[in-house]
Chains A and B, each alone.
Chain A
């Protein structure tokens, strides 16, 4: 999985609790992404980062925040989890976000269940 780890791999939590997912890369790639995967929707971009402390919103960013204090780590936080955020979350990395020839590589995913 291209030098990308995600933690935890599985998590069950209750509605209203905060949750933080971690993505760690060893490739020293500049760009990092958080996606969620839901049946019938494929993968949808939540947030992305183009450098340390540089982040921006994706297609489905409501209810999520991110932080990147080091090149290798990208955190996704659900401030107050809701059942609609039950999903599988994938982190991805790429060397360049602006080059069409660049490829995104994905981590193993985190399965989150919000009860």
Chain B
């Protein structure tokens, strides 16, 4: 089974509306999970991570993610989307020694 999966290739949302970018993970192993964002022609920028503790993780640029063990999900959320949030978002899972496995990415388009 895929370690992490991003079921949506693209998410469209209007500016000012809440946004959710989905990520699910396979049950086996520890769920150490990360979100990264990639703006056009840039490298990946770290947003947030879940290791242990509070299921709601707050990160950069107003983003947060909710770890849900029963649904094996780690969805990225923001209460009010900005046009500047338009980018490619990657969920990733740390699987042990040097191994960070990435999902296939979700393109977020925020319309004015």
Cβ contact within 8 Å between A100 and B32: yes
Q: Which residues of B contact A (CB under 8 A)?
A: 30, 32, 34, 36, 41-46, 49, 51, 90, 92, 94, 97-100, 102-105
CB-nearest residue of chain B to A40:
B104
Number of A residues whose C-beta is below 8 Å from B?
27
Q: Which residues of A contact B (CB under 8 A)?
A: 1, 4, 31, 33, 40-45, 48, 50, 56, 58, 90, 92, 97-98, 100-101, 103-109
Cβ contact within 8 Å between A104 and B100: yes
In angstroms, Cα B103 to Cα A44, docked, is: 10
CB-nearest residue of chain B to A9:
B41
CB-nearest residue of chain A to B51:
A101
CB-nearest residue of chain B to A103:
B46
Cβ contact within 8 Å between A42 and B43: no
Distance to closest chain B CB from A104 (angstroms): 6
